């Protein structure tokens, strides 16, 4: 993976007095561009094996995103929005100084002087993922036509791609603006963080206030060496250059080192808004790409993969649909199920879904209740008519949904024939246990004859009041 350079501004703390550099404004010299422009930068490198304490890969961030201060410089250039909007640029505009004069009416509590918006295609603004809670500062070079009469304040807005503007904060009022050209600083606080999406813009509106009974002029100075600007904190994804996995598709990237057995996992958003996950195997160069859907799913949907890296929304599968009956190995039914014990349940409320499925097929006590099947001590039988088997007496085997049947034995008889003539029926009167002989009565009209049959059985027969196969008792439960 190619190394990617990152430039990170060093924090600078100034203590005590500091001489004003040549070319600085009349006051608030720390707000001037020539000082901002002279800040040193620190360069780090992303590499497979960190070797330097300045390498970005050594840094750990709480949420894998990078907090930064962004300066937005006010210009007199028209915005791509058109109308009254002026451009607000991330880089200082050093064209000839421009001024914007506004007449502030008498006793005005807020006269709009200028409206600025960030451009749509700005990569720095596009990299914002959140405007956090914090202090937002405004630094304006200006001059008043009368002393101790005029002040100003700012409003900061979020503007989405549809053009809807939402007010995020209103700053405090500035100090009274002097009649000598200089820099005024004032601030505002954002109380709730604001998530940011692709193509969102920052809009700032500057207002003038007049505490006198006569109209006064207030002039803003932009560009040149004025560095009139807004400074705001922002949470940005770490951007990467073309050449690394994903290349120019990268818009926002989060990097986590050491996950998944030593792999780097990148989660990033393309300019189309699609979220991607890439796993880069260190030392091997293998890349696994998973593409999530472009839009959010609906309630009770989950993500499904097609096995080749494309993920899509599907309905969340239900393990068992309502009305399913299964065997269960415990005496009590689990959550979401009830015993098949013939209980009478209310049709409304908890069991309404089950009632909608089975109705009163298994009986009901009244118009507000319904019964569940009673499977205690009996075997289930398939409902409907068999298309495969035929009963001995003719006709197909059948079962009716919700109908119970008692145990029974198929009718049969033993017939004795002598010289081709039926003589009568045999009735077993003395069954034996195990092998041996069994005596039966031969009934031929008015006379009874006895005959001994030879039975070659093995083991001890089992006798009971029902005919059944070998079995194991289990609980039947039904899904509600």
Q: What is the pLDDT of residues 383-398, one digit of tens each?
A: 999 988 888 777 888 8
Find how far residue 103's CA is from the centre of its chain.
51
Q: How many separate domains does the chain show?
A: 3
Of 181, 206, 236, the residue at which a domain comes to its end is 236
Q: Please work out, in degrees rounded to the nearest 5, the angle formed at the alpha carbon of residue 40 by the alpha carbons of 252 and 51.
A: 65
| pLDDT over threshold 90, residue 286 | no
Pair (286, 339) in one structural domain: no
Mean pLDDT of 158-176: 95
Q: Does residue 282 sit within a domain?
A: yes
Q: Does residue 286 sit within a domain?
A: yes
Mean pLDDT of 105-117: 96
Q: Does residue 357 sit within a domain?
A: yes
Pair (334, 357) in one structural domain: yes
Residues 230 and 218: their CA atoms lie apart, in Å, by: 19
Measured over the CA atoms of residue 181, residue 183, residue 186 and residue 187, the dihedral's sign is positive
Pair (67, 208) in one structural domain: yes
3-state class of 259 per DSSP? helix
Q: What is the mean pLDDT of the chain?
A: 75
Mean pLDDT of 107-112: 96
Confidence of residue 158 (pLDDT cuts 50, 70, 90): very high
| Domain carrying residue 351 | 319-385+395-458+471-480
Query: Among 238, 326, 317, 233, which Cα is nearest to 46's?
Result: 238
Q: Does residue 451 sit within a domain?
A: yes
Region of 272 (left: φ > 0; alpha: ψ -120 to 50; beta: rest) is: alpha
Residue 323's pLDDT is: 96
Pair (293, 359) in one structural domain: no
* CB burial string 431-452: b at 16+ within 10 A, e below: eeeeeeeeebeeeeeeeeeeee
pLDDT tens-digit map of 84-109 = 999 998 888 778 999 999 999 999 99
pTM: 0.42
Residue 11's pLDDT is: 33
Pair (259, 327) in one structural domain: no
pLDDT tens-digit map of 434-463 = 444 555 555 555 555 555 555 555 677 788
Long-range contacts of 171-178 (CB under 8 A, 24+ apart): 171/136, 171/138, 173/209, 174/140, 175/151, 176/144, 176/147, 176/148, 176/149, 176/150, 176/151, 177/142, 177/143, 177/144, 177/150, 177/151, 177/152, 177/218, 178/143, 178/144, 178/147
| pLDDT over threshold 90, residue 114 | yes
**In angstroms, what CA-CA distances link 175 with 100, 104, 116, 149, 169?**
19, 16, 22, 10, 19
Of 208, 236, 264, the residue at which a domain comes to its end is 236
Confidence of residue 5 (pLDDT cuts 50, 70, 90): very low
- Domain containing 66 — which CATH number? 2.60.120.260
What phi and psi, each to the nearest 5 degrees, are found at residue 348? -95, 160
Pair (129, 165) in one structural domain: yes
pLDDT tens-digit map of 331-373 = 999 999 999 999 999 999 999 999 999 999 999 999 999 999 9
Per cent of the chain over pLDDT 70 is: 65
| pLDDT over threshold 60, residue 48 | no
With beta carbons less than 8 A apart as the criterion, state whether 64 and 254 touch: yes
Residue 91's pLDDT is: 83
Structure tokens at 362: 């298994």
Pair (298, 184) in one structural domain: no
Residues 80 and 88: their CA atoms lie apart, in Å, by: 11
Mention every residue, 6+ apart, whose C-beta is less than 8 A from residue 465: none
Residue 440's pLDDT is: 52
Residues 86 and 74: their CA atoms lie apart, in Å, by: 8
Structure tokens at 44: 């780090």
* CB burial string 384-403: b at 16+ within 10 A, e below: eeeeeeeeeeeeeeeeeeee
Pair (324, 311) in one structural domain: no
Q: Does residue 144 sit within a domain?
A: yes
Residues 159 and 201: their CA atoms lie apart, in Å, by: 5
Structure tokens at 252: 């926002």
pLDDT tens-digit map of 194-240 = 988 878 999 999 999 999 999 999 999 999 888 899 999 877 654 44
Structure tokens at 136: 């937002």
Confidence of residue 328 (pLDDT cuts 50, 70, 90): very high
Residue 266's pLDDT is: 53
Pair (101, 209) in one structural domain: yes
Per cent of the chain over pLDDT 90 is: 42
Residues 343 and 452: their CA atoms lie apart, in Å, by: 53
Greater confidence (266 vs 186) lies with 186
Q: Does residue 285 sit within a domain?
A: yes
Q: Does residue 372 sit within a domain?
A: yes
Pair (274, 343) in one structural domain: no
Of 315, 333, 361, the residue at which a domain comes to its end is 315
Greater confidence (128 vs 22) lies with 128
Measured from the Cβ of residue 179, the count of other Cβ atoms closer than 10 Å reads 13
pLDDT tens-digit map of 123-141 = 777 778 888 899 999 999 9
| pLDDT over threshold 80, residue 39 | no
Pair (263, 347) in one structural domain: no
| pLDDT over threshold 70, residue 167 | yes
Q: Does residue 43 sit within a domain?
A: no
Pair (338, 366) in one structural domain: yes
174, 85, 33, 178 alpha-carbon torsion, rounded to 10°: -30
């Amino acid at each position: 993976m190619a190394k990617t350079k990152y430039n990170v501004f060093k924090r600078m703390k100034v203590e005590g007095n500091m001489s004003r550099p040549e070319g600085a404004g009349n006051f608030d010299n720390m707000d001037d561009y020539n000082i901002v422009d002279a800040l040193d930068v620190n360069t780090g490198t992303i590499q497979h094996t960190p070797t330097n304490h300045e390498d970005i890969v050594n840094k750990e961030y709480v949420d894998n995103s990078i907090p930064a201060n962004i300066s937005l410089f006010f210009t007199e250039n028209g915005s791509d929005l058109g109308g009254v909007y002026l451009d607000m640029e991330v880089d200082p505009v050093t064209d000839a100084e421009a001024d914007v004069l506004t007449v502030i009416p008498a006793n005005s509590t807020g006269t709009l002087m200028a409206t600025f918006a960030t451009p749509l295609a700005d990569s720095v603004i596009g990299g914002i993922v959140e405007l956090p809670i914090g202090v937002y500062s405004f630094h304006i070079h200006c001059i008043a036509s009368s002393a101790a009469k005029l002040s100003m304040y700012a409003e900061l807005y979020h503007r989405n791609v549809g053009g809807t503007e939402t007010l995020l904060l209103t700053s405090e009022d500035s100090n009274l603006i002097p009649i000598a050209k200089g820099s005024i600083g004032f601030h505002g606080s954002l109380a709730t963080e604001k998530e940011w999406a692709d193509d969102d813009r920052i809009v700032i509106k500057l207002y003038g206030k007049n505490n006198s009974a006569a109209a006064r002029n207030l002039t803003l100075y932009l560009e040149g060496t004025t560095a009139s600007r807004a400074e705001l904190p922002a949470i940005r994804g770490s951007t990467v250059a073309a050449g690394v996995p994903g290349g120019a598709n990268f818009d926002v990237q989060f990097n986590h080192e050491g996950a998944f057995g030593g792999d780097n996992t990148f989660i990033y958003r393309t300019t189309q808004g699609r979220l991607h996950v890439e796993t880069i195997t260190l030392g091997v160069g293998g890349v696994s790409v998973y593409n999530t859907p472009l839009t959010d799913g609906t309630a009770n949907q989950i993500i499904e993969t097609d096995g080749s890296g494309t993920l899509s929304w599907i309905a969340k599968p239900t393990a068992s649909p309502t009305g399913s009956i299964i065997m269960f190995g415990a005496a009590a039914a689990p959550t979401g199920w009830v015993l098949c014990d013939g209980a009478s349940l209310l049709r409304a409320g908890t069991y309404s879904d089950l009632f909608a499925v089975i109705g009163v097929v298994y009986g009901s006590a009244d118009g507000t209740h319904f019964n569940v099947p009673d499977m205690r001590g009996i075997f289930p039988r398939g409902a409907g008519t068999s298309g495969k088997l035929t009963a001995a007496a003719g006709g197909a085997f059948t079962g009716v949904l919700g109908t119970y049947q008692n145990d029974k034995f198929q009718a049969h008889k033993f017939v004795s024939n002598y010289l081709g003539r039926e003589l009568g029926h045999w009735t077993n009167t003395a069954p034996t246990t195990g092998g041996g002989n069994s005596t039966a009565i031969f009934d031929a009209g008015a006379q009874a004859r006895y005959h001994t049959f030879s039975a070659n059985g093995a083991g001890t027969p089992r006798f009971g009041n029902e005919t059944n196969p070998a079995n194991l008792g289990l609980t039947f439960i039904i899904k509600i």
